[in-house]
Amino acid sequence: MATTLAEYQFGGLGAELRKEIALIAAHASPLLGVLPFDQLESNNVSRQRMYLDDGQIAEHVVDATWTKNNPHWEFRDTALAILGDDVTVDMFGAQASDTTFAKLMAGNVEQKTLQISQSFDRLAVYGGTSANAKFSGSAMTGLLLHIAHVESATTTDLDGWLYTGTDSAANNTQVLAAAASASATLTLTMIQRLISSVRPYATHLIMSQLMHDKLQSLCQSSSRNLDVGKGKLGEPVEYYGRAQVLVNDGLKDNGPDPSSSVTTISTYNYDTGTGDTSFIFAVHINPTAFCGINGQGMIQVENLANGGAMENLDARGKRIKAYLGTALRHRKAAAVLCGATYT
């Protein structure tokens, strides 16, 4: 059964700590806050069925011969990334300061929870790509590679279609280009075409802060605003239509321009990219569509050996860790807009 952070906070021991961790994580990573996570029981690799068709069904007349027409799917493997660190508090320092050991350790746990959330944000987009060494060496598959794999299990680039046209001849219907061989300023029409590419409907839009600000500006110019509501953990959330808008601080605005509606992510460099475009995603978040996968527990905090006492050190320590990944279980559950700029 898939579990969200909102449900995780109520499970098991240490309810207060779980609630605090859930709130910190959801505020640092809105995506982590809304994804349902399927727990893997005994393997760090999840072999997923990605459904590739739209479930066409035949109609039969009386006494007609029935023929086999199985759903079309292919396996995709996606693994868990092991995220975490050990932290310590020096006992003399704790006693010599006006802050208790518990408060000092709580501060360490909070910072590491933030860092896990921020790492997840980046890997959930770029994981498995060659955008930099951290991403290419990660076990996690991010949205860019998930969507590239809609075309085939070995595809690494985004070969799509110009958003003003149709997707009938596209190698990958889930990739929209803002311009055929250049960049183009974001428009509401681009957003609407992106949303329309997701089935059964887009529950969420994922974008950078600059793209969020551009979307807000476009809405205001059209005499409307993003709708405001409240998330499951009490956090403020925004909606464009019925799609919740998630700002991902791991998304950079230095992406490459499309060329003949193909966006090359295999040579894009996250750290040194000189482009001015940003990826925007529309997704249907659901355990049968786009979701998270995790090992036992979600974000876990545990004492190091010997009750946390550090050998040869006058200190105590804890380990903060999470085994996390993502899965795309239907090809129509995610789409990406490439080549859009905020200026």
Q: Which domains does the chain have, with CATH numbers?
A: 5-50+74-341 (3.90.1690)
Question: According to the model, what pLDDT value does residue 74 have?
Answer: 76
- Contact predicate 262/194, CB 8 Å: no
Lowest mean pLDDT among 229-233, 251-255, 280-284: 229-233
Residue 27 has pLDDT above 70, yes or no: yes
What's the whole-number mean pLDDT along residues 165-184? 92
pLDDT band, residue 42 (cuts 50/70/90): low
CA distances from 24 to 33, 65, 86 (A): 9, 59, 18
